[in-house]
Amino acid sequence: MDDQQGSHVTGTPVPGAGDVREAWGRVTGWLERHDPAVFAALGGPGSREAVERAERRMGLTLPPELRQWLLVNGIDAGVRPDMPSCLVTRGCDVPVPGGHMLLGLTDIQRVYLSRTALEEAEPSEDPDCPFWRRTWVPIAAERDGLYGTFVDTVTGTVGTWAEASCPEEGVYASLSAFFRYAADLLEGVSSGDWTGPGTPAAAREPDPRPQDEPIHVWARTHGILVNERGRVPSAVREAYEASRR
């Protein structure tokens, strides 16, 4: 599987893709202040040569935003896989929507090639709802790769996939939007609504209101991170209400 090569896939990323570094910088700034262990695990800058090798191996061209992000933090650069029995060998537990681990280049390739091979071995019956597209690049996933988040290299949008269900395309308009939303959630609950891994526990939050349960269910199905306890962020509540109109 690791030596698999694919034909080159090209696409036309959305013109004027945003600078993902500003949105990602808000996430890493929060981590540096509140969870230095996870911040340190992000590693140093990525390698342009490593990104180009990954593109050749996967047989596609990464959109500008994704290249920018991979060059800011080389999550698994120079690290030997410590769990070879798992598809994701070294994900980073950054709190992002969906709750999956962010992937470095090594794991991005492993998950991509695995998902692509599975789709080719057993093509989806519905071409409009495929198990996987060759133009999708995973950026976050569970250890087994059955759930995760991807960037569409053609549209630049961000979507999610889950085992035994149709993937959700275009959940976020761009990688910048995905990280801006993650930063909004982190910064918006800095008063103690959410502590994050490795930070001191805050006072116990109130039980969720029964009328908020449909919002929690809707958010989970759309890969949006919402605390089970405490208030529902206004942005999530507004998006839920808009979906009901």
CA gap 32, 27 in Å, rounded: 9
More confident residue, 229 or 117: 117
For residue 110, give the nearest of 144, 154, 160, 82 by alpha carbon.
144
Which pLDDT score is estimated for 9? 52
Read off the pTM. Answer: 0.69
User: Concatenated DSSP letters for 195-234?
Assistant: --TTS---SPPPPPPGGGHHHHHHHHHTT----SSSPPPH
CA–CA gap between residue 159 and residue 175 (Å, rounded) = 10
The pLDDT confidence band at residue 98, using thresholds 50, 70 and 90, is: confident
Which residues, 6 or more positions from 44, have their beta carbon under 8 angstroms from its beta carbon?
Answer: 73, 74, 77
Domains of the chain (ranges; CATH) run 20-177 (3.40.1580.10), 205-245 (4.10.320)
**Structure confidence by residue, pLDDT tens digits, 132-175:** 999 999 999 988 888 999 999 999 999 999 887 889 999 999 99
Q: What is the mean pLDDT of the chain?
A: 78
225 — pLDDT class (breaks 50, 70, 90): low
